[in-house]
Amino acid sequence: MKRSFLTVCALITLLAVVAQAQTAPANGGRKKRVAVFDFDYATVRSNSAALFGSDVDIGKGISDLLVKYLVKDGTYSVIERKAMEKILAEQNFSNSDRANPNSAAKLGKLLGVDAIIVGSVTQFGNDNKNQNVGGAGGGLGRFGVGGFSHKESKAVVGLDARIVDIDTAEILGVAEGKGESKRSSTGLLGGGGGWSGFGGGNVDFGSSGFQNTIIGEAVKQAVEQMSTEVIADNSKLVTRTITVEGLVASVDGGIVLNVGSKNGVKVGDTLNVERVTREIKDPSTGKVIRRMTTPVGVVKVTDVDDGSSVCSVVSGSGFKIGDAVKTITQ
């Protein structure tokens, strides 16, 4: 009996170890880092505007909800929106570039990610069985105005996403999402309970109030399905390793480095600071073959632009202009 009990305990322990190994990053290091760009919604813009009564950026709402699900799952490390928006503004990234893999891939390098996710909203509106609504939305076809009450309202949302390699702009994986919801005696924005509407051209697609509307239920279904497929494509991404080397350019009022986002530096990176104490040269050619260094300290990047970085001191003191900085960013 005792032997059987010990056997069972050993089996449980083994299964726990296996489960832990399966959830750990495959390379034994960090999670693969992705950036999710706002989805393009040009093809459904008129339907969306008719539904909400104004031009609401549903592409941003879809992107934010996808990020929420990816962060909750934990398979990927997802870049914060603030960091993205800063780079997008500096690079004049426009709405027309949202679904362009080549444009997004270039920005992906500045963000220091392994891959970027771009996508499009392909369907967004109603599919009502009773179309006798007095001509409102008559010219919009099957996916027309959604804010009117019908005997039975059916919301349909279609999404597609592409995972893009930032070095080659190659599409590494694709994901799709389709959501449908229907209800009687209410419009697509009905049934939201405490939903307080929207403001500033944005809708919080993750709010419980919106997700209780008919169109909100369809959005939730579509994004959940799409996020599952994005997560399943994790193995198709390659973890990038970037060696960053530079010099301290200024120590007045903060540590400034002569390397920036174009070199692979991003906010939050830590770099070792070393001082060259001796250079060893080849006696036949005079070429420096080795530099002997001593550690000075460690700094952490707090702000970055294309060609420079501002850092705070993590450890050490006495930093000087010309000190070498180096790290391996994975």
Please write the tens of the pLDDT for every residue from 1-48.
445 544 444 434 333 333 333 334 444 457 898 999 999 999 999 988
| The pLDDT value given to residue 51 | 84
- Better pLDDT: 72 or 183: 72
128 or 117, which is more confident? 117
Residue intervals of the chain classified under CATH 3.40.50.10610 are 27-236
Q: What is the chain's mean pLDDT, rounded?
A: 79
Does residue 78 surpass a pLDDT of 50? yes
Angle between helices 101-111 and 81-90 (to 10 degrees): 110
Question: Are the C-beta atoms of residues 161 and 99 closer than 8 Å to each other?
Answer: no
Least confident of 22-26, 81-85, 158-162, 237-241: 22-26
Lookup: tokens for 88: 């997008």
Q: How far are the Cα atoms of 10, 194, 236, 272, 319 from residue 250, in angstroms, in the given order?
A: 58, 54, 41, 16, 9
For the chain, where do the domains classified as CATH 2.40.10.410 start and end? 242-329
Q: Of 272, 275, 267, 247, whose CA–CA distance to 259 is shortest? A: 247
Residue 70, pLDDT above cutoff 80: yes
CATH for 242-329, options being 2.40.10.410, 2.40.160.210, 3.40.50.2300, 3.60.15.10? 2.40.10.410
Structure tokens at 329: 């960013």
Phi/psi at 253 (5° precision): 75, 15
Output the CATH code of domain 27-236. 3.40.50.10610
**What's the mean pLDDT in 191-215?**
69
Q: Which residues pair with 275 in a beta bridge?
A: 294
